[in-house]
Amino acid sequence: MTSATAPAVESAVTLDSKLSGVLGGRTASAFEKAFGMRTVSDLLSHYPRRYAKRGELTALANLPLDENVTIIAEVLRVQERPMRARRGSILEVKISDGEGILTLTFFNQAWRSKDLVPGVRGIFAGKVSAYRGALQLAHPDYELFEPDSPDAVLPGGAAAKEWAQTPIPIYPATGTVASWQVQKAVGIVLDALGPTPDPVPDAVVAERGLLSFRHALEGIHRPQKDAQWQRARDALRFQEAFVLQTALLQQRAASREAAATPRRAAPDGLLARFDAALPFELTGDQVVVGREISSDLDSEAAMHRLVQGEVGSGKTLVALRAMLAVADSGGQSALLAPTEVLAAQHLRSIAAMLGPDLSAQLMPTLLTGQLSAAERKRALLRTVSGQARIVVGTHALLGDAVTFFDLGLVVVDEQHRFGVEQREALRAKGGTPPHVLVLTATPIPRTVAMTVFGDLDVSTIAQLPAGRQGIESFVVPLADRPGWERRIWERASEEIAKGRQVFVVCPAIAGKDAEDDAEEQPADADADPSAPARPVASVESVAAQVRADPLFAGKRIGVLHGKLPSETKDEVMRAFAAGDIDLLVATTVIEVGVNVPNASAMVVMDADRFGVSQLHQLRGRVGRGDIPGLCLLVTAAEQGSLARERVEAVAATLDGFELANVDLELRREGDVLGSRQSGGRSSLRLLRVVSDGELIAEARVAAEETLSGDGGLAAHPALAAALARRLDETERAFLGRS
């Protein structure tokens, strides 16, 4: 991509203007492809990740290998030499920041020596690699400082000192759009931008002493001093929190406007019978949360409650008690699960907890896309007639053919797996708006709950039921201790010898599914051939390895992953739960909801490929009965790497809430509004839920006062416009938890 140059633009450029009309189609297309940007607002909210100084010394010796970097340095020497094994030449340019030396390598581009001459300084960007023991950037992008810029004046002069201390914004960049290209585009847009009304009301801006929106945009993108971008960042961070909290409060108010049918448990009804038959006492947390839910169900306003709980804390039991209260009132409950394995597991668990008598009366029914025509017809009839008081299913519940007799409660398991449209399609099946109960097994720090779930009432179950034996977790660091790999399988076989069962979890189904982190190298004989990467553990390869291992001769080995037919997945899980499989090699399809009390050990291969909360979820599949759990987190990540830190953090504690905070800290930039697995931008630009809890709380108070004032949101058109711009479809789905 070439540097952005300003085409002819209309004078009235607004935040909603298309980038193509300001930057030109070619540049705008490159920005959309690289960052998903389409409008002026998209570009201007792509804030610098840090600021460099022209005179600062970046420590080249500490550059991270295999990462894209932007550095400021001076050209020391330039050398061209012929390639040995093929026609052409290599241009090698040595640059230095005054402390370290880095080599820039260009293949068959000798013409660059006209610009890259000893003594010139500039910004260089590319991916750091190692060749023959030295760091290099192959085919980097760069921009040289202008010869007539103040750096040409006498060193130590006032002009040179001022120039050297002017902050240079360094933007998040890609291999196709470099930081300085973003900077140039931002400059063009700011020059063309018309009036920018502030989403934060004037009274709030004055009270907090904030910069205006326009001054903040200028200050963060074109600062002359550090203090300018610091003040600008403070203003924009508050604005982000303010707009976000306004959106949450709007959603909360809208959800509470809908009238619902109160659902009261009968004194001697189904819930009372269930409680009387329980072979154990509810934990204190389960009792408290049960009362909160009961109070919500008793109201004419629809319940919108999130129940978060540790793995194995009994969230399903709490949800079932709510379903029984609804059944007492003559209503039905629908439990929406993200996978067929989990839906089937929920149905079996619910039926087991109810017992034969209550099950016969409530007729819990499974409805998934893989049912036979006869099974589906029977399930639909039970649902529409009201015979099935509890219906458990996947997305199949959302189909037009599914009709409820009296839908009183919607339970959504693992909310983050669903979009608002899907959940609303299920809610719409109620004659009056049903109550909604959202379950998550991912513990949420207070600041995240305030930021993401600010429109829901949040209940927490932290206590584990009595009798749990706990889980021991160990890191198996193959980078340091390659000889320990054999011990993994010996330990697994020892558990099986005791009559117990073992999970082995892999990040891929087959070798071809594994991520390929190797970068394609320039095709010439002088390039350093990359060593073959250690293959990512896959279900197919590990299952084959285990079956061929004498340690497991005669043992029953099963496999489970998402690409298997639904009937096969269900058969495998049933067999494992029944003790007919000794060792199950699976993907994360077993992450949530699978309950096999006899499973005592879990081996997570390439544990560094999983996130902190995901590892915690996986580990929760063992140690669920009276057998102590063992979790081996196998990783080849190097000591001190971020990947290794994640794994070690999980091994260090069983406290999911502590891990949730660790996860936020390790992620550095949290994407708390949605799951951007596809590589999109983080949904939070400047706001950091780890450190900005107080700011978020203050913004919420300001947003409440703004919405409750005369005219509400209608009196603040700039805020309404910011809401429409800021919340894209993904975020609206994630925020729309009504």
CA 273 to each of CA 427, 529, 680: distance values in angstroms, whole numbers, following the listed order: 28, 70, 50
Please state, in angstroms and rounded to a whole number, the distance separating the CA atoms of residues 687 and 695. Answer: 9
Please write the tens of the pLDDT for every residue from 544-579.
Answer: 999 999 999 999 999 999 888 878 888 898 899 889
Check whether residue 514 and residue 628 sit in a common domain.
yes
Any domain includes 286: yes
Check whether residue 435 and residue 476 sit in a common domain.
no
Any domain includes 351: yes
Please state, in angstroms and rounded to a whole number, the distance separating the CA atoms of residues 474 and 476. Answer: 6
Domain boundary pick from 629, 653, 677: 653
Any domain includes 632: yes
Check whether residue 400 and residue 508 sit in a common domain.
no
> Nearest 5 degrees, angle CA 195-CA 199-CA 202?
90
Question: Which residues of the chain are under the pLDDT cut of 50?
Answer: 1-4, 8-10, 57-58, 151-157, 160, 513-532, 668-682, 729-738
Torsion, Cα of 539, 545, 548, 553 (10° steps): -70
Q: Collapsing DSSP states into helix, strand and coil, what is residue 133?
A: coil
Check whether residue 286 and residue 388 sit in a common domain.
yes
Question: What are the tokens at 199?
Answer: 């989403």
* Segments forming the whole domain that contains residue 351: 270-297+313-440
Any domain includes 660: no
Task: Give the pLDDT score at 525.
Answer: 31
Domain boundary pick from 423, 440, 457: 440
Look up the CATH number of the domain holding residue 598. 3.40.50.300
Check whether residue 395 and residue 542 sit in a common domain.
no
- Cβ(431)–Cβ(406) below 8 Å: yes
Check whether residue 288 and residue 416 sit in a common domain.
yes
Please state, in angstroms and rounded to a whole number, the distance separating the CA atoms of residues 598 and 627. Answer: 7
Task: Give the pLDDT score at 569.
Answer: 86
Task: Give the pLDDT score at 141.
Answer: 76
Task: Give the pLDDT score at 728.
Answer: 54
Task: Give the pLDDT score at 152.
Answer: 41
Q: Cα(first)–Cα(last) distance of the chain, in Å?
A: 44
Any domain includes 43: no
pTM of the model as a whole: 0.61
Question: What are the tokens at 73?
Answer: 């340095």
C-alpha radius of gyration, the chain, whole number: 30
- Cβ(209)–Cβ(222) below 8 Å: no
Burial class (CB in 10 A: 0-12, 13-18, 19+), 417: middle
Please state, in angstroms and rounded to a whole number, the distance separating the CA atoms of residues 408 and 433. Answer: 8
Task: Give the pLDDT score at 583.
Answer: 97
Task: Give the pLDDT score at 532.
Answer: 37
Task: Give the pLDDT score at 269.
Answer: 93
Question: Cβ atoms within 10 A of the Cβ of 604, count?
Answer: 28
Question: Cβ atoms within 10 A of the Cβ of 347, count?
Answer: 21
Domain boundary pick from 653, 678, 709: 653
Stretch (H or E) spanning 698: helix 693-708
- Cβ(682)–Cβ(671) below 8 Å: yes
Any domain includes 399: yes
Token match 């017809």: residue? 377
Task: Give the pLDDT score at 445.
Answer: 67
Task: Give the pLDDT score at 107.
Answer: 86
Q: Does residue 314 come out as left (phi exceeding 0), alpha (psi in the -120 to 50 range) or beta?
A: left
Task: Please name every residue paired with 101 in a beta bridge, in sequence order, or none if there are none.
Answer: 96
Please state, in angstroms and rounded to a whole number, the distance separating the CA atoms of residues 246 and 346. Answer: 36
CA 365 to each of CA 377, 431, 555: distance values in angstroms, whole numbers, following the listed order: 12, 20, 35
Check whether residue 384 and residue 487 sit in a common domain.
no
Check whether residue 282 and residue 419 sit in a common domain.
yes
CA 496 to each of CA 44, 482, 625, 636: distance values in angstroms, whole numbers, following the listed order: 58, 24, 16, 26
Which residues, other chains included, contact 22 with Cβ-Cβ below 8 Å and sequence gap of 6+?
Answer: 6, 7, 9, 13, 28, 40, 188, 189, 192
